[in-house]
Amino acid sequence: MISFEHKPGTKIVYASTDCFDTEGFAVVPEVASRDDISQLSALCDELDICGAGSRNLLQLDWVKRLAAAISEHPEIRSLLPPDARAVQCTYFLKTADKNWLVPLHRDRSIPVQEQFAATDWTGWSRKEGTWFAVPPDRVLRQLVAVRLHLEENSADNGALEVLPGSHRNSAGSGSRIACPVPAGGALVMKPSILHASSRLSSGRRRVLHFLYGPASLPAPAQWAYSI
């Protein structure tokens, strides 16, 4: 299966945990090898997906193994909470026929096992058979997303733009910066950072977007899935 052999000397943007906590994102250029990408491409091409993606990939065995391998990558592991678990994997597919613009936003909803009554859990919705809700800030602060790119992610194919440090305040300030990622690289980010992406101008863009969170949630909440 996927090896994810770590290459000594791999560089990471914002290498220290302190910088990641402050800026809210980091780019790890070499996470998956060419062989890994070839295998992942074939597996993604076999997915029975309607539309531009799916939120429920963590139910698949190969995605579970991939989530575990990513969390053990030295540079990524250093950016995750000590008890981090993979709790969701979303597959995004942008092509000329499936092309969209995403304005500045924050990812705040998380997948939970069932709906419940609690004043500090809001924004309930049902997507692809799973309940989603916006948790309290103390939970949001513990979340980390890892976006593994199967193609080079440049300005021409919808590279994500982020507002550095905006995960730490409600309004955000400063200017957006683009986050180009090579094929096989990963963008690691706080989901609550303000981020956006443009439409494709060429090629296609495939991303496996993993969400990692604490091993358990405040009662009565439970993760829909946890690896």
132 or 81: whose pLDDT is higher? 132
Burial class, 202, CB count within 10 angstroms (exposed 0-12 / middle 13-18 / buried 19+): exposed
Decide: residue 211, CB within 10 A, 0-12 exposed, 13-18 middle, 19+ buried: buried
pLDDT at 104 over 70: yes
Average pLDDT rounded to a whole number, residues 63-90: 95
Please report the DSSP string for 38-95 in residue order.
Answer: HHHHHHHHT----TTEESBGGGSHHHHHHHHHHHHSHHHHTTS-TT-EEEEEEEEEE-
Residue-wise pLDDT for 203-219, tens only, equals 788 999 999 999 999 99
Domain boundaries of the chain, sorted by first residue? 17-106+143-213
Which class would CATH give 17-106+143-213? Answer: mainly beta
Is 36 a residue whose pLDDT tops 90?
Answer: yes
Average pLDDT over residues 157-181: 84
Average pLDDT over residues 162-181: 84
- pLDDT for 50: 63
pLDDT at 130: 95
Mean pLDDT, to the nearest integer, of 87-114? 88
Q: Which residues pair with 144 in a beta bridge?
A: 212
Residue 189 has pLDDT above 80, yes or no: yes
Residues 6+ apart with CB under 8 A from 219: none
Which contiguous run of DSSP H or E holds residue 20? helix 17-23
pLDDT confidence of 109, banded at 50, 70, 90? Answer: very high
Q: How confident is the model at residue 9 (pLDDT cuts 50, 70, 90)?
A: very low
Q: Output the average pLDDT for the chain.
A: 87
Determine contact, residues 73/36, Cβ cutoff 8 Å. no
What pLDDT score does 205 carry?
A: 83
* Top-confidence residue, 1 or 118: 118
Average pLDDT over residues 83-107: 87
Helix (H, G, I), strand (E, B) or coil at 19: helix
Q: Could you give the C-alpha distances from 57 to 48, 152, 211, in angstroms and in order?
A: 11, 22, 11
Q: Which of 16-20, 193-197, 207-211 has the lowest mean pLDDT?
A: 16-20
Output the six-digit token pair for 222.
């439970």
Provide the pLDDT for residue 88.
97
